[in-house]
Amino acid sequence: MTDNTNSSAPAPAFPGGTILGYPRIGRMRELKRALESFWKGNSTQDELEATAKALRAENRDRLAALGLGKTDSSIPSNFSFYDHVLDAAVTFGAVPERFADLRAADGSVDLAGYSTIARGQGDKAPLEMTKWFDSNYHYLVPEIGPDTTFALSSNRWVEEFIEAKEAGFLTRPVITGPLTFLYLSKAADEAPEGYQPIDRLDDVLAVYVELLAAFKAAGAEWIQIDEPVLVADIDADRADVLANTTKVYNALVSAESRPALFVAAPYNSLDDALPVLKDTGVDAIGIDLVRGSVPSGVDLSGVTIAAGVVDGHNIWRTNLDEALAKADQVADLGATVTIASSTSLFHVPHTLQGEEHLGEELLSWLAFADEKVAEIVTLDTAFTQGEQAVAGALGEARAALQARAEHPGTNRAEVREALSGIEAQAFERSDYSIRAAAQDARFNLPELATTTIGSFPQTPEIRKARAAWAKGELSDAEYEQAMKDEIASVVKLQEDLGLDVLVHGEAERNDMVQYFAELLEGFDVTKNGWVQSYGSRCTRPSILWGDVARAEAMTVEWASYAQTLSDKPVKGMLTGPVTILAWSFVRDDQPLADTANQVGLALRGEIADLEAAGIGIIQVDEPALRELLPLKKADQPAYLDWSVKSFRLATSGAKDDTQIHTHLCYSEFGEVIDAIDGLNADVTSIEAARSRMEVLPAIKDHGYERQVGPGVWDIHSPRVPSTEEVTELLQLAKDSIPGKQLWVNPDCGLKTRGYDETNASLKNMLAATKAVRSA
């Protein structure tokens, strides 16, 4: 262990019972509203600051009321206006050149500038956004080049600490660690070949040292440094990652003036990084014992461990006995243990209060953020004072868990029997060549067939109709008519434009997962269970609590109505099993694979019903296939195996002349290309416009024999691509893939677009197709 002589006093005791972070958006999404109003120019920076300040105060008060200590550093301060990785970049002054004019003389940016970096403005593209580990949260990717200057450029973090202190709270500031910050950054455009952001480690470290001193001077006793990157197999040599871990934490531990250092590593096991971190002498280490496991064979004597035994990533009530047993196991390795959440709680909604409609039974199986804090307090009491001190709470938790296990809905004989009766051939279709011939004969589509990904703009009128229907102001029949009118207009538009394969437009879907969750058995939906997806954007994941079954057809009526309006094929539209799981809170009492297969089987029934209604082309979207990819390489093959199987279970009952499409929303294709091949879809549409068809050579090299639709229009912005631009992309695509195998489509669904740009862009897309067909 490093001799820690530089810090004058021994570390203060680590707080008993803590959480790694708390939702930032507010119970009533106050921050979302305040941000959006600020962006629209309806409120000032001061008003936005005031809302944020009130929110921070409210959160602190609530956490104290729930039992976290007010003055022992157990309340984390992890507020962010938009994203915590962006906060780190702005604090360290790592702002890309194109935003240089947003910086004040001291290097700081105000909230307008901060928003511009996050969201872009005019010709200033925002920072890229990507998924945060294996969650549905998106962070902003810092751009770090050889010339990026690092300097402490914002006092915000320290000021927030002082703000809490003045209100009588000694909080624990939470910051993104140097390793996570640099490994998640991308090289700035101008960086030379071979350069990596991590090359700048020494420069960044200097700023962290300065920051630690500032926190210490402000009176912080503990600081939490998040290093989730240490649990993931990333695109870097592990030996280098570990060497850098030693370097960083040796340096921070021996910093002249600093609070006690708590390094948190959520989302999986630290594995070989645990002993490395321990040897640096950091004052406490947070480990995830929900996704990760209890370390084995590590001597943890003298180490303080925050045992993450309460799931920060899912909403189920904790098995308190199991949690205590895990904490005991860690203590047996010699560690001084405190109870903690496995991750920040920002992945779960604020509170179960207001969700009474879920029913007492389901409610008693759940714990959102506030209920998890209460669990941690209970566990901490049990751990430090003995179980008898909280016997009542432990008994209540046991009873709820037992009721959940015994509930008929979590174990339905007919669902289980249907699944166990499935044979290997249920996962297979005829050879592709046979299917292709049957489909060609049936649809006789031209080369470079044109289509869209499914949704058309969700107009304010559609949303209004749905809201009125939910309130009972619109009858079922009136709502149905409103949706049918919308479908008719979308079909007419596509016919006028001359698309080859039409869609019904998904007007009736509030959300591509929730729509199905509301119709399938085994799910429930919350009223106010919002979680931050990125910035001000929140999603309301459904709760998949029981065995899944389909009571009745879910999409047939809409699709077949659309089909009556056109002689062209209308594509049926379903969301795939993996995506339904990824964007819901999924039961944790059985393997994900089993749950995925239950969903797969339900979708298989839906596909049969669509076929029976005459729908011959059916798309099963799996935009989340990449998102659930495990963080550890060793776990990936098993995941890819079950995820592909669930898709095949859903789709392989289709007849030879039914054309199965799938859609995937991202372009990092290389790593999952075998899985995509394994899906065995007849047609796969993917995102490709922004990367200028970068993925195609990989597909070509893979020897992909089925059809692909690389997106030719980046639908993430209102920009209309010109005919020339689309022509060029199509030509590029044709260089890699024979025209016979190519489809023409946008990158993704159009639900977030307006009709003006949709019309103009589709028109250009069709003109380009014409040009390339006749070239």
- Among the listed ranges 130-138, 420-428, 625-633, 741-749, the one in contact with Zn ion (CB under 5 A) is 741-749
By the rule CB under 5 A, 748 interacts with Zn ion = yes
Using CB under 6 A, count the residues that bind ligand GLN: 13
**Residue 353, strand partner residues:** none
What does residue 401 show for φ and ψ, rounded to 5 degrees?
Answer: -65, -35
Q: Which is nearer to ligand GLN, 21 or 505 (CB)?
A: 505
711 binds ligand GLN (CB under 6 A): no
Per CB under 6 A, the segment of 128-136, 449-457, 555-563, 705-713 that binds ligand GLN is 449-457
**What is the footprint of Zn ion within residues 620-639 (CB under 5 A)?**
623
Which CB, 327 or 487, lies closer to ligand GLN?
Answer: 487
Q: Which of 454, 529, 541, 709 binds ligand GLN (CB under 6 A)?
A: 454
Binding mask 626-665 for ligand GLN (x = CB under 6 A): -------------------------------------x-x
**Which residues have C-beta within 8 Å of that of residue 754, sequence separation ≥ 6?**
457, 718
- Please, what is the Cα angle at 502 between 496 and 503, to 5 degrees? 120
Here the tokens at position 525 are 């939906």
Separation CA 421–CA 418 (nearest Å): 5
Q: Which residue has the tokens 């005019």?
A: 122
Listed ranges 83-91, 512-520, 576-584, 748-756: which one lies at the site for Zn ion (CB under 5 A):
748-756
> Per-residue string for binding with ligand GLN, 494-513, x by CB under 6 A?
------------x-----x-
Q: Is 503 an interacting residue with respect to Zn ion (CB under 5 A)?
A: no
Q: Which is nearer to ligand GLN, 260 or 453 (CB)?
A: 453
298 makes contact with Zn ion (CB under 5 A): no
What length is written for the chain? 775
Q: Which residue has the CB atom at the shortest distance from ligand GLN?
A: 749
Q: How far is the CB of 208 from ligand GLN (least distance, A)?
A: 37
Under the criterion CB under 5 A, does residue 512 sit at the interface with Zn ion?
no
DSSP string for 482-522: HHHHHHHHHHHHHHHHT-SSB--B-TT-SSTTHHHHHHEEE
- Shortest reach from residue 621's CB to ligand GLN, in Å: 5
Q: Indicate the helix (H) or strand (E) that contains 98.
A: none
Using DSSP's 3-state secondary structure scheme, residue 365 falls into: coil
Least separation in angstroms between residue 503's CB and ligand GLN is: 8
Among Zn ion, ligand GLN, none, residue 341 binds (CB under 5-8 Å by kind) = none
**Number of helical (H) and strand (E) elements in the chain, helices listed first:** 26, 23
Measured CA to CA, the distance from residue 317 to residue 315 in angstroms comes to 7
Category of 512 on φ-ψ map: left (φ > 0), alpha (ψ -120 to 50) or beta: alpha
715 touches Zn ion (CB under 5 A): no
Query: d(Cα 207, Cα 217) in Å, to the nearest integer?
Result: 15
- Near Zn ion in 650-669, by CB under 5 A: 665
Which residue blocks in 254-390 are alpha helix, DSSP H?
Answer: 273-280, 320-332, 360-363, 369-385
**Which C-beta is closer to ligand GLN: that of 390 or that of 513?**
513
d(Cα 235, Cα 249) in Å, to the nearest integer? 21
200 versus 663: smaller Cβ distance to ligand GLN: 663
Quote the CA–CA distance of 603 and 611 in Å, as a whole number.
12
Binding pattern for the stretch 716-755 against ligand GLN, x by CB under 6 A and - elsewhere: --------------------------------xx-x----
Q: Which long-range contacts (CB under 8 A, 24 or more apart) does 714-719 make?
A: 714/689, 714/690, 714/747, 715/746, 715/747, 715/748, 715/749, 715/750, 715/752, 715/753, 715/761, 716/690, 716/747, 716/748, 718/753, 718/754, 718/757, 719/757
Under the binding rule (CB under 6 A), the answer on residue 111 touching ligand GLN is no
Residue 435 or residue 571: which is nearer to ligand GLN going by CB? 571
Annotate each residue in 11-50 with x if it binds Zn ion (CB under 5 A) or - if it does not, as one string: ----------------------------------------
Which C-beta is closer to ligand GLN: that of 191 or that of 453? 453
Residue 56 CB neighbour total at 10 angstroms: 22
Q: Does 513 bind Zn ion (CB under 5 A)?
A: no
User: Where do we find the tokens 């999924």?
Assistant: 586
Find all residues with CB under 8 Å of 737, minimum gap 6, and list them: 696, 699, 700, 704, 708
- Report which secondary-structure segment, H or E, holds 465: helix 460-470
Site string for ligand GLN, 556-595 (x = CB under 6 A): -----------------x----------------------
716 annotated active-site:
yes
**Binding residues for Zn ion (CB under 5 A):** 623, 665, 748
Catalytic residue annotation: 716
**Binding residues for ligand GLN (CB under 6 A):** 453-455, 506, 512, 573, 621, 623, 663, 665, 748-749, 751
